[in-house]
Amino acid sequence: DLSAERRLRCMLEHLVPVEISRVNPDRSVCIFPTSEEYKDIVQVPGDFAKKALLSSRSQYEQLYNEAVTNPDGFWGRVAAGFFWKKLWDTSKPVCNYNFDADKGPIFVEWFKGGFTNVCYNALDRHVLAGHGHELCFLWEGNDPGQSAQLTYSDVLKKVCQVANFLKSKNVQKGDRVCIYMSMIPELPIAMLACARLGAIHSVVFGGFSSESLAGRILDCKAKVLLTCSAGRRGNKLLPLKELADRALEICLRDGNTRVETCLVYDNSFALPREKVPWVEGRDLWWQDNVSQFSVDCPVEWMAAEDPLFMLYTSGSTGKPKGLIHTVGGYMVYAGFTFKHVFDHHPGDIFWCTADCGWITGHTYLTYGPLFNRATCVMFEGVPTFPHAGRWWEIVDKFKVSILYAAPTAIRTLAAQGDEVVRKYSRKSLRLLGSVGEPISPKTWRWYYEVCGDSRCPIIDTWWQTETGACMISPLPGAWPMKPGCATLPFFGVQTLVLDQEGKELHGACEGYLSIKAPWPGIARTVYGDHSRYESTYFKTWKGLYATGDGCRRDADGYIWITGRVDDVLNVSGHRISTGEVEGALVSHPQCTEAAVVGYDHELKGQGIYAFVTLSQQAKPSDALKKELQDIVRKQIGSFASPEVIHWAVSLPRTRSGKIMRRILRKIAARQYTDIGDTSSLSDPSVVEALIKGR
Ligand code: WT7
């Protein structure tokens, strides 16, 4: 798309002052700060700074530089804080890698030669040291009044029972286990049980449809599926077992299934047992079977570079990629970032509101906190059920000190007004976090002033499924915040800002965000398709990891994330591929073509807008619109269903046939005066027709 490139170049050349400045000039949304907002600085509240693990930027810089110049010393020291059955080969560099495809295959290895077990480090280590009685999970159900407490010993016993069950089903090191559950403690318990045995877990978010689940089961050839009868989120019932059944049927049709066992947790709060569909011989009730197994189970000692888990994520093209994270590096990076980014102190009550189906729930609800012996709140429901004060009620109930949430939820709550927040004490809170999408300065301010009473720093944490754990974030206490800004890279993370030719930009600048050398938590490959890993992340910029995000770096060296520069949408913090949604739409027999773009959505961040052309016999109607929305729901999940269906007679294409999304984004955003150059279109009148149809 030439003209977009030209625009980018202009922007890069006239950097200061820019009013609305984004690397992706086509994004209709400007949540990006105005020049006034850029200057807004918030000092770390004094009381917080006094007790913070890190209290100055110079202290940070010293450690940051050490991590870059002496990774062996720095990461060796960090890794030594974990239990290793056998230490890594300390006579060799702690990290060995190649990011340059010209020099051979891309690979990353950390702590080579070492043996450890992630579950042992999350649980056994603490229990053996006499901390078994300390609280691990504080669970709050969807309906108020439903809650549970699990100590570290409780969790260890339950994990061992599940691990022994899996062993009885012949699950061995390296086998894949798929987990499709709602947010109940058995979900992280299942993940830890897999880690104990060295089985690779693949958690599929409960909001995904049966077809998505089937695709993931088939791709990784899972041996066992762990699910629950149903889940409840607000007033909605999630019939997980029914969806799982349909997924397993699809797998059967494919003739490829190896799923011989489906273990079902009886979540009777959500659905009575007798209403749960059942396949005799394959399905087993969790409560009836798992409890018969021993509460002791030896751990499988794993090599540092053995896979720990896989997690599917969407890119701009193709089917979702199963990213592989490995044992040693992920463990060290998840644990270490948790401690420093959240400034974790003993006694903190930590609440990450993310679902375990996403990387945030893996790293900061399960692994990271447990390595640090933290107490975690886990919530099954939604922020506004049964009332808009639910979150603050939970904060007061469990005396939550650190709250980690997504901007989309914060925006939803902000829309309900300040009163429902102020009704609750919230005095236990000392730190607030944000993750998953850019947080606008306005939302940041509301979160800071209203939710945190201007007393709690905010950490705006930027990272990705691929990075394993946090990459750019304030270390609270160490430097002043700027509302809407992720600030500085974590220890050892070498961020670069590039222009469109891949040239590194210095000082205050704007461009593409990339990373120079590996950090321990980077994903190592795409399951079953290493060349896809190489081409997605390492082909764009030679020798560098391409993040897919744009950013601006200001004069203080702070990094402002501006959003994706590819065709990935971020809807309510969910990462969605435009290509996947288009694929689902065109599978409808009456849809001939579809082009999907994002548009500014007040609550969701981005909404999904689909331009659709129909076959000659078909007529636009509300019923057809619903059919199209349903087909996306069915193939991907409700969260990916387009809000807007625009009946188009044809789509704007270049003479070579490429759809010009830039123009479609402008039309979706009603920015007609700003359509730009349409001379390269094969038929410029198409644009006129689309505007009329808006
Ligand atoms: C994409 C990654 C981070 C784990 C959950 C999402 C966007 C994430 C931020 C942030 C601006 C953010 C990026 C990134 N993103 N955090 N603090 N500020 N954008 O993981 O599903 O892999 O999505 O989320 O665009 O590339 P994910």
DSSP string covering 222-266, please?
A: -SEEEEES-EEETTEEE-HHHHHHHHHHHHHHTT-----EEEEE-
Regarding the beta carbon of 314 and ligand 1, being less than 6 Å apart is answered no
Regarding the beta carbon of 574 and ligand 1, being less than 6 Å apart is answered no
Q: Please state, as a whole number, how many other Cβ atoms lie within 10 Å of the Cβ of residue 237.
A: 13
Give the pLDDT confidence of 209-240 residue by residue, as tens digits: 999 999 999 999 999 999 999 999 999 999 99
Task: Tell me how far the alpha carbon of residue 428 lies from the centroid of ligand 1, in angstroms.
Answer: 28
Q: Which residue has the least CA distance to atom 27 on ligand 1?
A: 464
* pLDDT value at residue 421: 98
* pLDDT value at residue 6: 43
For residue 573, pLDDT over 70 is answered with yes
Regarding the beta carbon of 484 and ligand 1, being less than 6 Å apart is answered no
What average pLDDT does this structure show over 582-589?
96
Q: How confident is the model at residue 594 (pLDDT cuts 50, 70, 90)?
A: very high
* pLDDT value at residue 149: 98
* pLDDT value at residue 35: 73
Q: Which residue has the least CA distance to atom 2 on ligand 1?
A: 464
Helix 661-668 and helix 685-693: axis angle, to 10°?
30
Residue percentage of the chain with pLDDT more than 90: 83
- What is the spatial distance between Cα 547 and Cα 463, in angstroms, rounded to a whole number? 9
Q: 306 and 115 in contact (C-beta within 8 Å)? A: no
Model confidence, pTM: 0.94
Dihedral sign (CA 290, 295, 298, 299): positive
Q: Which residue has the least CA distance to atom 7 on ligand 1?
A: 437
* pLDDT value at residue 32: 59
Q: State whether residue 183 is helix, strand or coil.
A: coil
* Top mutation candidate among 444, 464, 488 for ligand 1, by most atoms within 8 Å of CB: 464
Regarding the beta carbon of 548 and ligand 1, being less than 6 Å apart is answered yes
Half-sphere exposure for 596 (CA within 13 Å, toward CB):
29
Regarding the beta carbon of 335 and ligand 1, being less than 6 Å apart is answered no
Q: How far is CA 573 from CA 360, 364, 565, 635, in A?
A: 11, 16, 16, 19
Lowest mean pLDDT among 182-196, 390-404, 674-688: 674-688
Using the atom order of ligand 1, give the atom closest to the CA of residue 439: 18
> Please, what is the average pLDDT of the chain?
93
* pLDDT value at residue 563: 85
Q: Which residue has the least CA distance to atom 6 on ligand 1?
A: 436
Structure tokens at 324: 């592989």
H-run or E-run covering 125:
helix 125-126
Q: Specify burial of residue 393 (Cβ count, 10 A radius: 0-12, 13-18, 19+).
A: middle
Dihedral sign (CA 630, 216, 241, 280): positive
* pLDDT value at residue 422: 98
For residue 1, pLDDT over 80 is answered with no
Task: Tell me how far the alpha carbon of residue 249 lies from the centroid of ligand 1, in angstroms.
Answer: 34
* Top mutation candidate among 437, 482, 493 for ligand 1, by most atoms within 8 Å of CB: 437
Regarding the beta carbon of 585 and ligand 1, being less than 6 Å apart is answered no
Which residues are catalytically annotated? 566
What is the maximum alpha-carbon separation in the chain?
74
For residue 31, pLDDT over 60 is answered with no
Structure tokens at 511: 């461009």
Regarding the beta carbon of 443 and ligand 1, being less than 6 Å apart is answered no
Amino acid at 262: C
For residue 29, pLDDT over 80 is answered with no
Lowest mean pLDDT among 127-141, 253-267, 470-484, 668-682: 668-682
Q: 175 and 225 in contact (C-beta within 8 Å)? A: no
Residue percentage of the chain with pLDDT more than 70: 95
Q: How far apart are the first and last CA of the chain?
A: 23
Question: What is the DSSP code (8-state) at residue 275?
Answer: G
Q: 182 and 267 in contact (C-beta within 8 Å)? A: yes
Regarding the beta carbon of 360 and ligand 1, being less than 6 Å apart is answered yes
Residue of 138, 231, 135, 141 whose CA lies nearest to 179: 231
Q: How confident is the model at residue 30 (pLDDT cuts 50, 70, 90)?
A: very low
For residue 24, pLDDT over 80 is answered with no
For residue 259, pLDDT over 60 is answered with yes
For residue 4, pLDDT over 60 is answered with no
What average pLDDT does this structure show over 454-462?
98
Q: How confident is the model at residue 491 (pLDDT cuts 50, 70, 90)?
A: very high
For residue 28, pLDDT over 60 is answered with no
Q: Please state, as a whole number, how many other Cβ atoms lie within 10 Å of the Cβ of residue 602.
A: 9
Lowest mean pLDDT among 23-37, 190-204, 289-303, 591-605: 23-37
Regarding the beta carbon of 436 and ligand 1, being less than 6 Å apart is answered yes
* pLDDT value at residue 675: 79
Task: Please state whether the peptide bond connecting residue 642 to the residue before it is cis, i.e. omega within 30 degrees of 0.
Answer: no
Regarding the beta carbon of 362 and ligand 1, being less than 6 Å apart is answered no
- Does residue 204 come out as left (phi exceeding 0), alpha (psi in the -120 to 50 range) or beta? beta
Task: Tell me how far the alpha carbon of residue 436 lies from the centroid of ligand 1, in angstroms.
Answer: 4
Q: How confident is the model at residue 315 (pLDDT cuts 50, 70, 90)?
A: confident
* pLDDT value at residue 9: 44
* Top mutation candidate among 513, 561, 566 for ligand 1, by most atoms within 8 Å of CB: 561
What average pLDDT does this structure show over 185-197?
98
Q: Which residue has the least CA distance to atom 20 on ligand 1?
A: 464
